[in-house]
Amino acid sequence: MKFGVIIFPGSNCDHDAFWTLEQVAKQKVTFLWHESHDLEDCDAVIIPGGFAYGDYLRTGAIAKFSRVMESVQSFAAQGGLVLGICNGFQILCESGLLPGALMRNVGLKYVCKPVQVRVENPDTPFTQGCRRGEVLTIPIGHMEGNYVCDSPTLEQLRDEDRIVLRYSSLKGDITPEANPNGSIDNIAGVCNAGRNVLGMMPHPERASEAHVGGTDGFKIFQSLVGALVSK
């Protein structure tokens, strides 16, 4: 199998994702350039964190027009696995691959710290290695991580079990105090109706090796590898 990590002008977590896939997960991985339509026969695509195109206008607003995203949209429509992390989540929402939008954090401050997220749906390619209700500790680093959507969309996400991750306490309680950015319903990650596209604000690539603070994030990559193996 082969993974692709997209590079936009301003990406700053692309090499972290590449390292995790190649050195920790021991998978074949390549970088994908934002100006290219070629996904190089990758089986899964990672849209990493960073500040694509400097986040001018708003996060993800310019990146959605890149050539590579045209190919990612087609890839996703055919069932290809796509993981958007932080800025990648923002780009997926701007591209229409996921509902909702990411706004400025409540308090208007950049937040960078480990947080807890509770796994709400283990029945996705990205969380199949987790248990429902399992609490993972994964770092965040964002200014615009406040997930918003209208009431009908939120109801649909709940009804279809598409809220994959929620900010929680260490014990797994969903509380306002556990919410680092004001996201509606404590949402930290959602998937599309086909469950092959996931956007999440926490950075699993920053929690994939014990010597850098923890390995909870690696469960996302392990799940993804497992899903491809079983295909």
For 98-131, the pLDDT digits (tens) are 999 999 999 999 999 999 999 999 999 999 999 9
Q: How many domains does the chain have?
A: 1
- Boundaries of domain holding 95: 2-229
pLDDT tens-digit profile of 20-36? 999 999 999 999 999 99
Q: What's the rounded mean pLDDT across residues 209-223?
A: 96
Cα–Cα–Cα angle for 182, 183, 184, rounded to 5 degrees: 115
DSSP secondary structure of 18-64: HHIIIIIS--EEEEEETT----TT-SEEEE--B-GGGG-SSTTTTGG
Q: What's the rounded mean pLDDT across residues 63-89?
A: 97
Q: Give the per-residue pLDDT at 48.
A: 98
- Residue 58: which pLDDT band, with cuts at 50, 70 and 90? confident
pTM exceeds cut of 0.75: yes
Least confident range of 51-55, 97-101, 114-118, 140-144 = 51-55
50 has pLDDT over 90 = yes
Q: Give the per-residue pLDDT at 86.
A: 98
**Average confidence score pLDDT of the chain:** 97
14 has pLDDT over 90 = yes
Q: Give the per-residue pLDDT at 56.
A: 81
d(CA 67, CA 95): 12
Q: Give the per-residue pLDDT at 213.
A: 85
184 has pLDDT over 90 = yes
End-to-end alpha-carbon separation of the chain, Å? Answer: 11
Q: Give the per-residue pLDDT at 231.
A: 77
- Residue 55: which pLDDT band, with cuts at 50, 70 and 90? confident
CATH of the domain at 83: 3.40.50.880
Question: Of 13, 42, 86, 130, which is the active-site residue?
Answer: 86
205 a catalytic residue? yes
Render the burial of 195-230: b for 16+ CB within 10 Å, e for the rest.
bbbbbbbbbbbbbbbeeeebbbbbbbbbbbbebbee
160 a catalytic residue? no
86 a catalytic residue? yes
